[in-house]
Amino acid sequence: MKPSDLYDSRYSAGFENELGNEEQILFGLVSQLPRGKLLDVGCGVGNIGAKLGELGFQVTGIDHSAKAVNLARERGLEAEVCDLDSEKLTYGDETFDVVWAGDVIEHVFDPINLLKQLNRVLKKGGCLCLSVPNEFQLRTRLALLIKGRSCQSFTYKTQLIDHHHTHFSLDLLEFMFAESALKIIWFGGLLRWPMHALKAERPSRSRYLSRNFGRAFVVMARKD
Cross-strand pairs, 112: none
Q: Answer for the pair 62, 81: CB distance below 8 angstroms, yes or no.
A: yes
By three-state DSSP, how is residue 82 classified? coil
pLDDT confidence of residue 8: 66
Establish if 155 belongs to a structural domain. Answer: no
Establish if 143 belongs to a structural domain. Answer: no
Establish if 21 belongs to a structural domain. Answer: yes
Establish if 142 belongs to a structural domain. Answer: no
Separation between Cα atoms, residue 196 and residue 198, nearest integer Å: 5
- Which residue segment(s) compose the domain that 189 sits in? 3-134+166-222
**CATH number, domain at 32?**
3.40.50.150
Separation between Cα atoms, residue 164 and residue 97, nearest integer Å: 28
Nearest partner of 100 among 204, 14, 218, judged by Cα: 218
Q: What distance, in Å, lies between the first and last C-alpha atoms of the chain?
A: 40
Establish if 159 belongs to a structural domain. Answer: no
pLDDT confidence of residue 19: 83
Contacts of 224 (CB under 8 A, 6+ apart): 124, 125, 181, 183
Pairing of β 214-222 and β 183-191? antiparallel
Establish if 151 belongs to a structural domain. Answer: no
Per-residue pLDDT of the chain (224 residues; tens, 9 = 90+): 566 666 767 767 777 777 889 999 999 999 999 999 999 999 999 999 999 999 999 999 999 999 999 999 999 999 999 999 888 999 999 999 999 999 999 999 999 999 999 999 999 999 999 999 999 888 888 888 898 777 777 676 776 666 788 999 999 999 999 999 999 999 999 998 666 666 678 999 999 999 999 999 999 999 99
Establish if 146 belongs to a structural domain. Answer: no
pTM above 0.75, yes or no: yes
Establish if 147 belongs to a structural domain. Answer: no
pLDDT confidence of residue 4: 67
pLDDT confidence of residue 153: 73
Count the domains in the chain: 1
Measure the CA angle with vertex 159, ends 73 and 8; round to 5°: 20
Cross-strand pairs, 130: 101, 219
CA separation, residue 130 to residues 102, 114, 155, 187 (Å): 5, 12, 22, 10
